[in-house]
Structure 1
Amino acid sequence: MFARLTGLALAALLATPGFAEGDKTGVGVSDMIRPDANFGRGVSMTIWYPAQTGGGASELVGRNAVFEGTPAQREASPMPGKLPLVLLSHGGRRSSEDSGAWLAARLAEGGYIVAEVSGQRPRDPATALGEIWRRPAELGQALDLLLSDPDWQMRIDESRVAVAGVALGGTAAMMLAGGMIDEAAYVRNCFTAHPSTDCDWFASGGIDPASVDPQALTLPRRDPRVRAVMAVAPEYLAEFRTDSLAPQAASVRIFGLDQPLPGEARVAAQTGIEVVPLEGADPYDFFARCTPNGAKLLEEEGGDPELCASSADERRAVHDQLADGALDFLGRALALPN
């Protein structure tokens, strides 16, 4: 799990809006909020898309005292025609909204509509336990909403839909490709050599992972509308049933870290899924680049300064690897038929 910044003072810092200056970016951004979706906890989406230049209000999305923002044009006019869609779920149980703004913008520049999906994130370990199965359900409901929305349904090519996820979002993405978690392996995870980073959080609240809803955990989440899935450093990779991933109903690619993920070799060998390591990457490198004072602010407010341990150049290099790899994969997996 990627650590969330805590404390009211820090939350106020992170809520600071930012505005871009200079030329138009050609990347538009809009929001969709449905408070009654996803089992009543709501679904919100930040939607990125190729935009016509010269319109919209310049903005730095996700900008705050810790992270640099991503430039976009708020409510700019979309480019004409139907485009492929990527649903994006970034980070673990407590990641903030727009954590994946930088990746969404890069994909939008490449010709994709990207909906970064953010449900109401759990604030305590008791409500977090079900996030492993709520996240894929949330993605499916987000797709329903987009394809039934009068403004977006005419812009989305329903035959070219992909899901991209980071950390627990990557787990959810693999579930939409047909992947299923082994219940017994999930329950044992906190007692293995590769425990989830949430295990300490669960233990602090007296939460036993064995109390997860077994039916919801093991319910097949395969969505036949999804043609391609890319999972970035997915959590619980070692707990997936490899028989559920081979053969794949959708094209799947896993992007790993500089060091191999637990279960990575087994999944690759038994399913044929390609695993692409990202040189120099650690889990925090999938966040935006940090401001010069980001690490200091995190330490002062009780956050994890490791979130900003990478230099701007190091993080940029990881971002470039992932964005280039994602565009290559999606371009092949969602190619129009000849």
Structure 2
Amino acid sequence: MPSRPHLRALAFLAFCASGAVSAQASDAIGVRAMTATVPERGAPVALTVWYPAGSGGKPERVGANSVFAGVSALRDAAMADGVFPVVVVAHGGLRSAPHQSGWISARLAERGYIVAAVQPPRLEPGEAERGVAEVGLRPADLSAALSAVEGDPSVRPHADMEKVAALGFFLGGTSSLALAGARLDPERYRQLCDSPNGGPDCAWFAKAGVNLHQVDLAPLTRAQRDPRLRTAVVVDPELSRSFSWDGLAEITAPTTIINLGARGETPPWLEAAELGAAAPTARYVRVPGANAFSAFGVCTPRGAAILRAEGEDEALCQDSGHVAREELHAQLAAMIAAALLRGFSTLP
């Protein structure tokens, strides 16, 4: 994730009053909870499914708490008539709080997509030793989410399984690339924390005594490509320096790789220009005026003050430059929707 203080903020947010509170909801967006069984885990993961809404449903603010404003939707509304493309979404890193993808999931649902947002297990501070295995499990969560959508009798009739995409932020971007066929190189991953630019998880590993040169990296070598995937969009992918160049060269699905911020503003562990150059079907773009915090939800008016009072990083609630987060979200949503359409347009 973007910074060490930011990780502490995410940990703090997990203890906030997360969930949903009643509010006027968009009459265009439905939301429901599902689970997906992940064979590689032997356990289910939680999904939040967003979709074009039909009748019924209870208005609520999904993901609202004292720091984040949440997103309006109609809980358990019927699905609108029609058949819609499917997007699986993964947001955040190993210790992220839930519902951070609500802003983009709702915007895509409003544009006519069924969106299955995955919430994998959140590792607690004392679970660093599980971190490496978890990196290898996250792509399997996305495949399981697709299977859950495909197998649900109330969702499947509305799901166009010929138009399937993955959208990922941070470690979710890494997982989405794996679903498209990219592979992590175990030896490059072993070197992740040998330099100060390995990312904030390196401090977590070090504190817990986890040495990447001594752990079992077999979970990272598993083939993760999902043939149902037609296109992928990844934003600020983590572990960008740990990918196998050969694997990137084998990606055939149209892929859009996005870095938030102008050149030189992206943290080294999120810099993805080389990934864009290595994958022959990739299109690489930057978003000047944004930063990694732009990929998180809109904060409440008191959000920054609450973080500051708790000794957390208030930057999580501060907009980049002079552009409000809502405006950046609208810009990113339009960019992502256009990338999805481009990807689907290449289908035979």
Specify if TM > 0.5: yes
Secondary structure in structure 2 of the residue aligned to 1:171: helix
Q: Which residue of 2 aligns with 1:298?
A: 307
Secondary structure in structure 1 of the residue aligned to 2:88: strand
Letter in 1 for 2:276: A
Q: Which residue of 1 aligns with 2:120?
A: 119
Pair 1:225 & 2:198 matched:
no
1:25 pairs, out of 24, 27, 32, with: 27
> How many Å separate the matches in 2 of 1:303 and 1:324?
31
Q: Which residue of 1 aligns with 2:48?
A: 46
List runs of 5+ in structure 2 lacking aligned partners. Answer: none
Secondary structure in structure 1 of the residue aligned to 2:290: coil
Q: Which residue of 1 aligns with 2:188?
A: 185
1:276 pairs, out of 281, 285, 289, with: 285
Q: Which residue of 2 aligns with 1:97?
A: 98
Letter in 2 for 1:5: L
Pair 1:208 & 2:216 matched:
no
Does the 8 Å contact 1:38/1:141 carry over to 2?
A: no
Q: CA deviation at 1:5?
A: 3.3
% of aligned pairs identical? 37
Secondary structure in structure 2 of the residue aligned to 1:221: coil
Pair 1:6 & 2:8 matched:
no
Q: Which residue of 1 aligns with 2:107?
A: 106
TM-score by length of 1: 0.92
Q: CA deviation at 1:248?
A: 2.2
> How many Å separate the matches in 1 of 2:134 and 2:241?
18
TM-score by length of 2: 0.89
Letter in 1 for 2:63: G
Q: Which moved more, 1:143-152 or 1:64-73?
A: 143-152
> How many Å separate the matches in 1 of 2:132 and 2:92?
15
> How many Å separate the matches in 2 of 1:317 and 1:212?
43
Q: Which moved more, 1:41-50 or 1:304-313?
A: 304-313
Pair 1:319 & 2:329 matched:
yes
Aligned residue pairs, count:
334
> How many Å separate the matches in 1 of 2:212 and 2:226?
26
Q: Taking structure 1 as reference, are residues 145 and 211 closer, same or farther at Cα in structure 2, changes over 3 Å only?
A: farther
Q: Taking structure 1 as reference, are residues 159 and 237 closer, same or farther at Cα in structure 2, changes over 3 Å only?
A: same
List runs of 5+ in structure 1 lacking aligned partners. Answer: none
Pair 1:310 & 2:324 matched:
no
Secondary structure in structure 1 of the residue aligned to 2:160: strand
> How many Å separate the matches in 2 of 1:72 and 1:237?
34
Letter in 1 for 2:41: F
Q: CA deviation at 1:16?
A: 5.5
Q: CA deviation at 1:167?
A: 0.1
- The root-mean-square deviation of aligned C-alpha atoms, in Å, is 2.2
Q: CA deviation at 1:41?
A: 4.3
Secondary structure in structure 2 of the residue aligned to 1:42: strand
> How many Å separate the matches in 1 of 2:318 and 2:95?
19
> How many Å separate the matches in 1 of 2:22 and 2:96?
22
Q: Which residue of 1 aligns with 2:164?
A: 161
